[in-house]
Structure 1
Amino acid sequence: MHLSGKTVLLTGATGSIGQDIARELARDGARVMLHYGRNTTKAEALAKELGGALIVQGDLSTPAGPTRLWDDAIAVAGEIHALVNNAGQLTPSSVSDPLEAWHAVWQSDLQVNLMAAADLCRAAIQHFRIIGGGRIVNIASRAGQGGYRAEAMSYGATKAALINLTQSIARGFGPENIHATAIAPGWVKTEMSDAYVAQHGEAAALSGIPIGRMAHTQEIGELVSFVLRPTQASLSGAVLDVNGASQMR
């Protein structure tokens, strides 16, 4: 029970990856605060499954939403010892789109994938200073390291910025016992990847992955829980790749 006595705020908890992160955190003894956007039923079901988990609603798509979410979480939990920024989105777009539509996609991805995480990190750092330290894990992507598909450039760009944000926090606030680590998955078997396979075929998704399969959501959950263990302070600033050797640095 390495995380016993620790409260962890997890964004995007009702998604495929979020649910298994929550399960692993709970197995490791953490009190998990599950953030959700719209699916109250799924959030309540997951909280019941975990036993003792808390839930908090928040709209990360608006500029004021992330800070309001943090304030609401603090009001319920009192203290938060770790933040996991897992919520994110991939919105297809094309350079052939009208400029207004192009801007709308970029602004939306920037808000959800980067600004929401940055605002939550800001609030967390201020809180961690008061309680003597804390941990941040940002779920980035392989897409943020080396360019990405032409129809998802906004996704790749925001994930690259999230990695840089993580490392800046690790460098700038490490002396205050505030640690930050990024996890960069490649293809993970989720509803989103299933939709891609249905459209393009499994071979298109698995080509270039030497181990021959996508990552499982449980793998991501186990890694997040491991990173948050008090013994793993030296992982601060690291970018942990989970991509089946499809991209190596």
Structure 2
Amino acid sequence: MTDTTPTHILITGARRGIGKAAATRLRESGARLACHATRHDEGIAIAGDFDRAGAARDTWRQALDLLDGRVDVLVNNAGIFEASPIERDDEVWRDDFERTLRINLTAAAELCRLAVRHFREQGGGRIVNVASRAAYRGDSPDHWHYAASKGGMVAMTKTIARGYAAESILAFAICPGFTMTGMADDYLESRGGEQLLRDIPLGRVATPEEVSETIRFCALDAPPSMTGAVIDINGASFVR
């Protein structure tokens, strides 16, 4: 984006980890941000739980208010990673599955829909969806729902890219492997730590700064012909 006007960006899940690092990186690049998280914290202007019906719509409206009625880029980063063993009670397991899909996929889809409609009116825009290596490789037996939600996010991104490129609406998906965030720390410990790292040829997990720089690139600098791209950041632990 070469215009001297600051790019207006809505980023979800910006309180910690990848989202916080991305928000910092985007601000450093001169963008104006509306940052969302589940609760107010330093730098978080919009609080909303995507498990609640209508929260995504409310987030979008608040972002427009904060950004003078214009959003140029949507970054969907909000998500949960909660174990749900198949031994759980049927209703509990189903509720776990549906909660993860509501937060990780349905809310992102609602925001993408609102963004596409807005971008059509203003002549274009960008969507950056933070998915996961799990979209292609799958995840642990306790995380069917997480893998399904991220696979859906990748498919949705490709569909948006193909459907609206002619209207200058671009869409990108980013698929990190393990990243050194709070969620990944807990998971690494539960899965054996060093043993799991042996599955990563690079020998370490990604840093939030590495993922945030990729988000910044897609949000601000990626050439239009890259629309529909899915970018892996996993230390060669899964190569497509």
| TM-score range normalised by the length of the shorter chain | over 0.9
Unaligned 5+ runs, structure 1: 48-53
Residue identity opposite 1:16 in structure 2: G
Amino acid at match of 1:117: A
Matches of residues 72-83 of structure 1 in structure 2 within 5 Å?
72-77=62-67, 78-83=69-74
Contact 1:63 1:111 in 2 (8 A): no
Corresponding residue for residue 5 of structure 1: 6
Residues 86-113 of structure 1: CA deviation (Å, up to 9, x unaligned): 0001121122111110111011001001
In 1: Cα distance, 2:33 partner to 2:2 partner: 14
Cα distance, 1:231 vs structure 2: 5.1
The structure 1 segments of at least 4 consecutive aligned residues displaced by more than 4 Å after TM superposition are 1-4
Aligned residue for 1:50?
Answer: none
Give the TM-score normalised by structure 2.
0.94
Equivalence for 1:32: 33
Indicate whether 1:59 and 2:49 are aligned: yes
Say whether residues 1:110 and 2:111 are aligned partners: no
Q: Quote how far apart the aligned CAs of 1:2 are.
A: 6.3
Instruction: State the number of aligned residues.
Output: 238
Q: Find the residue that maps to 2:85 and give its secondary structure.
A: coil
Q: 1:169 to 1:215 in 2, by over 3 A?
A: same
Report the counterpart of residue 211 of structure 1 in structure 2: 202
Q: Which amino acid aligns with 2:62?
A: D
- Alpha-carbon spacing, 1:122–1:235, altered in 2? closer, same or farther (3 Å): same
The answer to whether structure 1 residue 242 and structure 2 residue 233 are counterparts is: yes
Amino acid at match of 2:63: A
Does residue 141 of structure 2 align to residue 144 of structure 1?
Answer: no
Aligned-residue Cα RMSD (Å) equals: 1.6
Higher helix share goes to which structure?
1
Aligned-partner Cα distance in 1 for 2:62–2:86: 39
CA distance in 1, matches of 2:209, 2:196: 19
Letter of the structure 1 residue corresponding to residue 38 of structure 2? G
Q: Which runs of 5+ in 2 are unaligned?
A: none
Q: 1:196 and 1:124 mapped to 2: Cα distance?
A: 33
Paired residues of 1:226 and 1:232 also in contact (CA < 8 A): no
TM score, norm. by length of structure 1: 0.91
